[in-house]
Amino acid sequence: MKNNEPRNEVVAQTYDLLNLDQIEEARKVIGKYARRTPLVQSMFLSNNVAHADVYLKLENMQLTGSFKFRGANNKINHLSDEEKKHGVITASAGNHAQGVALTGKLSGIDTTVVMPDEAPQMKRDATRGYGAEVDIHGATFDDAHDWMHERAEKEGKTIVDPFNDSLVCAGQGTIGLEILEDLVDVETIIVPVGGGGLISGIATAVKSINPSIHVVGVQSENVHGMKASVDAGKIVKHHDDFTLADGTDVAVPGDITYGIVSKLVDEIVLVSEEEISKAMKDLMQRTKIVAEGAGALPTAALEAGKIDKKWIEGKKVVALVSGGNVDLQRVSQIIDHFFSPVDTHKVGIG
């Protein structure tokens, strides 16, 4: 967000993309299905890492193990009967896939999910388990996303985009409302960023109510299309290598999310693969929370000191654990990485 723009005016400028009324309406829609997830203080992160009051918003305990259920559910429940009749299609590395698949099962709608080759096996299996057709296509999420559009056009299916949709963003924004209700004086909120739907919704929700809240996005050094775009002042692509944070492996953000993030998000910081793996290990070992790579990004940023201390020390901070859908094989590799003499390059760490 530009420092010379009044905060209230900046929030108002995004209303044509997303607004608080849409988020409050989304909460009414998804309230029949979605869980209100806990906000718990981490004494380890508070006392040993950040020297602040650090709370974890546990979206790993949401239905399907990820925040993605919120946005998918809100979008599908807003479709017309005609749109539902043709079935829905999406692209996802796994979490949005499960949110769409479960909502489709609950609503009696046919669902198709395009997943890239790099999608973890457990996320493929879980998506099929909810009744969706899984179409493995392309090396990366962006390849799968392109194929989603092609299939939708050929087959007349209704697209449920994983992030670049105001209704999807509104569903994710309900997390921001819950945070403010549970911790009214929160000062800093740290959010994982991929395509930007999650942070767009949360930033819109919290800054509409309290514009002084500092919102920080976190991405992997290896894949950070949103930060690269914000830095460039236009939408650009960034994808260097594999990332443990597969849920945020999006090289190119959407125009809706880019528009919101560039206005409302105060900063985006980057963390390394080593820092992500350490955060996953520490969340398991010290807080007893299983987080996937994307879900560990905010903790990684705190542990690595990537956020200026003026926004952290002595503050009330919320770090979002966005999901917990991680392969047990990946967990085993991380444990071996930190506690056994292994070649970490063989397991994609470091």
Q: What is the pLDDT of residue 284?
A: 94
Q: Residue written as tokens 């991680």? A: 326
- Helix (H/G/I), strand (E/B), else coil: 79: coil
Q: What tens digit of pLDDT does each residue of 278-295 get?
A: 999 999 999 999 999 999
Q: Which segments in the chain show pLDDT lower than 70? A: 1-15, 341-350
CA–CA dist 213, 209 (Å, integer)? 9
Domain boundaries defined on the chain: 7-62+163-332, 65-157
Q: What is the pLDDT of residue 336?
A: 87
Q: Are 314 and 52 in contact (CB under 8 A)?
A: yes
Instruction: Please state whether 280 falls in left (phi above 0), alpha (psi between -120 and 50) or beta.
Output: alpha
What strand order describes the sheet that includes 158-159? 133-136, 111-115, 88-91, 158-159
Check for a shared fold between 7-62+163-332 and 65-157: yes
Q: What is the pLDDT of residue 220?
A: 98
Q: What is the pLDDT of residue 328?
A: 81
Supply the pTM of this predicted model: 0.91
Q: What is the pLDDT of residue 3?
A: 45
Fold of 7-62+163-332: Rossmann fold (3.40.50)
Catalytic residue among 42, 57, 66, 68: 68
Q: Assess if CATH 3.90.79.10 describes domain 65-157.
A: no
Q: What is the pLDDT of residue 332?
A: 86
DSSP string of 263-289? Answer: HH--EEEEE-HHHHHHHHHHHHHHH--
Q: What is the pLDDT of residue 2?
A: 45
- Phi/psi at 46 (5° precision): -65, -50
185-218 CB burial, b ≥16 within 10 A, e <16: ebbbbbbbbbbbbbbbbbbbbbbbeeeebbbbbb
Residue 108 CB neighbour total at 10 angstroms: 8
Task: Of 294, 222, 257, 317, give the one whose Cα is nearest residue 65.
Answer: 294
Per-residue three-class SS string for 305-339 = CCCCHHHCCCCEEEEEECECCCCHHHHHHHHHHHH
Q: What tens digit of pLDDT does each residue of 137-185 get?
A: 999 888 999 999 999 999 999 999 999 999 999 999 999 999 999 999 9
CA–CA dist 48, 288 (Å, integer)? 16
Strands 53-58 and 39-41: antiparallel
Q: What is the pLDDT of residue 346?
A: 46
Task: Of 153, 290, 268, 286, give the one whose Cα is nearest residue 221.
Answer: 268
Q: Is 68 a catalytic residue?
A: yes
Catalytic residue among 92, 200, 262, 322: 322
CA–CA dist 198, 257 (Å, integer)? 9
Radius of gyration of the CA atoms of the chain, in A: 19
